[in-house]
Amino acid sequence: MNLYQQAIVYLRQQQFQQAIVCCQQALEHQPQFALAYQTLGIALQVQGQEEEAKQYYLKAVEIQPNLAESYANLGSIYIKQKDWKTALETYKKVIKIQPNTATYYRNIAQILTQINQQEEATQYWYQALQLEPDWATPEEHLTLGNMLLKFEKPLPAISCYQKTIQLKPDSFEGAHNLGEAFSQLERWQEAIESYKKALELNPNSAITYQRLADAFVRIKSWDVALDNYRKSLELDPNSFQVYQKIAQLLLQQEQYEPAIQAYLRAIELQPFYQWSYWNLWNILAQHNKLNDALTLYQDAVERYPNAPLVELNLGEVLTRLGRIKPAISAYQRAIYKKIQRSHPEVAETDWDSETPLNPGFIIIGIQKGGTTSLDRYLEKHPQVLPAIKKEIYFWNHHYKRGLDWYLSHFPSLKESTQFLTGEATPSYIEDEQVASRIAKTFPQMKFIILLRNPIERTISQYYHWIRLGLEENSLSEAISAELELLGTNPETSIDSRYWEQTHKYIWRGIYVEFIRKWMMYFPPENFLILKSEEFYEQPEVILKKVFKFLNLPDFVLTEFKTYNQGFYQPIPQEVRTQLHHFFDSQNQRLEDFLGRKFNWN
Q: What is the per-residue pLDDT across 316-338, written as a single tens digit (0 to 9) for each?
A: 999 999 999 999 999 999 999 99
Q: For residue 185, give the nearest of 213, 160, 221, 218 by alpha carbon.
A: 218
Lowest mean pLDDT among 272-281, 361-370, 393-402: 272-281
Q: For residue 582, give the nearest of 459, 460, 488 by alpha carbon.
A: 488
CATH topology of domain 238-342: 1.25.40
Per DSSP bridges, beta strands 446-451 and 527-531 are parallel
Q: How much is the pLDDT for 60?
A: 95
Residue 204 pLDDT exceeds 90: yes
Give residue 277's pLDDT band: very low, low, confident or very high (50, 70, 90): low
Contact 453, 511 (CB under 8 A): no
Given this chain, do its domains 238-342 and 344-391+398-594 carry the same CATH topology?
A: no
105/117 Cα distance (integer angstroms): 14
Per DSSP bridges, beta strands 384-385 and 420-424 are parallel
282/288 Cα distance (integer angstroms): 10
User: So where are the chain's domains?
Assistant: 238-342, 344-391+398-594
H-assigned helices in 487-510: 497-501
Could you tell me the pTM of the whole model? Answer: 0.75
Q: Give CATH for domain 344-391+398-594.
A: 3.40.50.300
Residue 152 pLDDT exceeds 90: no
As a 3-state breakdown, the chain gives helix, strand, coil percent values, each rounded to 5, of 65, 5, 30
Q: How much is the pLDDT for 133?
A: 84
Furthest CA-CA distance within the chain: 98
What single DSSP character describes residue 187?
-
Mean pLDDT confidence for 493-521? 92
Contact 405, 327 (CB under 8 A): yes
Mean pLDDT confidence for 510-527? 97
Of 1 and 153, more confident:
153
Q: For residue 393, give the nearest of 433, 356, 360 by alpha carbon.
A: 433
229/268 Cα distance (integer angstroms): 18
Measure the CA angle with vertex 340, ends 336 and 344; round to 5°: 135
Q: How much is the pLDDT for 252?
A: 84
567/194 Cα distance (integer angstroms): 19
Residue 131 pLDDT exceeds 60: yes
Coil, helix or strand for 363? strand
What single DSSP character describes residue 428?
G
Q: How much is the pLDDT for 315?
A: 96
319/371 Cα distance (integer angstroms): 26
Residue 265 pLDDT exceeds 90: yes
Q: How much is the pLDDT for 567?
A: 67
Would you tell me how many other CB atoms lie within 10 Å of the CB of residue 76?
Answer: 17
Q: How much is the pLDDT for 417?
A: 67
Contact 442, 563 (CB under 8 A): no
Contact 451, 531 (CB under 8 A): yes
Residue 597 CB contacts under 8 Å (≥ 6 apart), including other chains: 591
What single DSSP character describes residue 448?
E
Residue 571 pLDDT exceeds 90: no
Q: Report how far Cα 392 is from the mean position of its chain's Cα atoms.
A: 21
Q: Spell out a b/e string for 464-496, using b for 16 or more CB atoms within 10 Å of the CB, else e.
A: bbbeeeebeeebeebbebbbebbeeebeeebee
Q: How much is the pLDDT for 416?
A: 67
Residue 211 CB contacts under 8 Å (≥ 6 apart), including other chains: 176, 179, 180, 183, 191, 195
Q: For residue 386, give the nearest of 338, 425, 428 by alpha carbon.
A: 338
Per DSSP bridges, beta strands 351-356 and 412-413 are antiparallel
Coil, helix or strand for 152? coil
**395, amino acid identity:** W
201/142 Cα distance (integer angstroms): 16
Query: What are the DSSP E strand ranges found in 21-69?
Result: none
What single DSSP character describes residue 321?
T
596/306 Cα distance (integer angstroms): 48
